[in-house]
Structure 1
């Protein structure tokens, strides 16, 4: 998934991501926020913020929020929301240009897990979290989520000999709660608590009329030929049956740790 390590990739995808992935990841961001006490005096950091699913929700608590991402396109979408207590800055989460112990809570909702050096990303989050503050990280299970999860399932059924999409290293490394907890402690956090959180991604079957828009971010789609893509679309329609919505149960691990 080398393309996911390039800001250019995310710059191009930012508007589409905001329309499709953002509403879904916001459900996990909201679940993460319920696990940490925040208020108007809180200083909150969102690392790998994307289009701001966590940052914009955290702002509703009155907290002062800094959203960071290495993609200028993603940061531009957050800035366009014009939320007065949200600052959006282009920044590499593997080397945060921020002071030690400067935030009450540092979040990363499916952000740090995409980093080439994700351990450095976790350590940087811990470094900028004040003693007694919180680190909150969400990752997917190893098979991914939403359309990525669906495409992987269909690929294994229809094209079992075709190599599938390679998930980011951190997704594999953190899929087990015991391993996840160990990595958080190594990064500088303590007392990690990890929970499985599942929501349905509701795939609109009508969106299959423009499958490149629906599936285009996944190598499990872009690597297919035209006939193979037609077979995938037919399989999705069969799975949905008469329903206009195909639910895709997607499980994340949400970790909360103290500094």
Structure 2
């Protein structure tokens, strides 16, 4: 089992993820929400919610939201926000314990793409979407985003003969818009519309003083020895130059499809 397939990995990372990744992924969650009209009567499901970037934003629009994740630690972060119109449940997105056609909009923001059986994840999303409702999925381009993208680029420059972390199969399979659209149709959705959205991850150069905290969620970092880690940090500092913040342009594909 790869680390990202293990709920314990995400339980341990939940607080750090909420502090570092959540503000960045929230930008893409807002972009996804802008593509679907919700009302206070809307019932929304967020699959693989993480720390709830989508779920909490949808709730602030007035919708009734259920946030699910296989990590109890992640679900606890969402529940801690205390929003009255957000319910939380620990649940495997590959086998949703939910009735058919029970949600007006079903989202997965960088979640279902990580599943071992991502096709089943998409099919489960479609199963619980009511006819006429929408499924919304966000994925990264194949090289990833933010610190993962930066670390991969630096590794390829410094250690060109060394294999890096393989991307999840779902990311690879849906990193091309046409392939992404076909996957949604195969899951039972129709008329998928896919757009690219780019935001800069703002890497605070001071965070390089604690690189294990900055990069520690990635096997591309944990597989390095101390000398290699020092070389990576030096290269990132070189890229930043005199800037206190290094922007890392990161592109997502956001798909909206009808049920």
Q: CA deviation at 1:163?
A: 1.1
- For residue 26 of structure 1, what is the aligned residue in structure 2? 26
TM-score normalised over the length of structure 1 = 0.99
> Within 5 A, what are the aligned runs for 1:121-140?
121-140=121-140
Looking at structure 2, the residues matched to 62 and 156 of structure 1 have their Cα atoms a distance apart, in angstroms, of 45
Q: CA deviation at 1:161?
A: 1.2
Looking at structure 2, the residues matched to 162 and 183 of structure 1 have their Cα atoms a distance apart, in angstroms, of 31
- For residue 225 of structure 1, what is the aligned residue in structure 2? 225
Q: CA deviation at 1:83?
A: 0.5
Residue 160 of structure 1 aligns to a residue whose secondary structure is coil
Q: CA deviation at 1:202?
A: 0.4
Looking at structure 2, the residues matched to 157 and 125 of structure 1 have their Cα atoms a distance apart, in angstroms, of 39
- For residue 50 of structure 1, what is the aligned residue in structure 2? 50
Looking at structure 2, the residues matched to 102 and 172 of structure 1 have their Cα atoms a distance apart, in angstroms, of 30
> Within 5 A, what are the aligned runs for 1:80-229?
80-229=80-229
> Within 5 A, what are the aligned runs for 1:11-22?
11-22=11-22
Looking at structure 1, the residues matched to 158 and 107 of structure 2 have their Cα atoms a distance apart, in angstroms, of 38
Looking at structure 2, the residues matched to 60 and 75 of structure 1 have their Cα atoms a distance apart, in angstroms, of 18
Q: Deviations over 1:3-36 (max 9, x none)?
A: 1101011001100100111110000000000000
Looking at structure 2, the residues matched to 183 and 229 of structure 1 have their Cα atoms a distance apart, in angstroms, of 38
**Cα RMSD after superposing both structures:** 0.6
Q: Deviations over 1:198-243 (max 9, x none)?
A: 0000000000011011000011111111111111011001000000
Looking at structure 2, the residues matched to 183 and 190 of structure 1 have their Cα atoms a distance apart, in angstroms, of 10
Looking at structure 1, the residues matched to 141 and 94 of structure 2 have their Cα atoms a distance apart, in angstroms, of 22
Q: CA deviation at 1:147?
A: 0.3
Misfit runs of 4+, over 2 Å: none
Unaligned runs of 5+ in 2: none
Unaligned runs of 5+ in 1: none
Q: CA deviation at 1:248?
A: 0.3
Residue 21 of structure 2 aligns to a residue whose secondary structure is helix
Looking at structure 2, the residues matched to 31 and 240 of structure 1 have their Cα atoms a distance apart, in angstroms, of 28
Looking at structure 1, the residues matched to 219 and 147 of structure 2 have their Cα atoms a distance apart, in angstroms, of 11
Q: Deviations over 1:97-146 (max 9, x none)?
A: 00000000000000000000000000000000000000000000000000
Looking at structure 2, the residues matched to 49 and 138 of structure 1 have their Cα atoms a distance apart, in angstroms, of 12
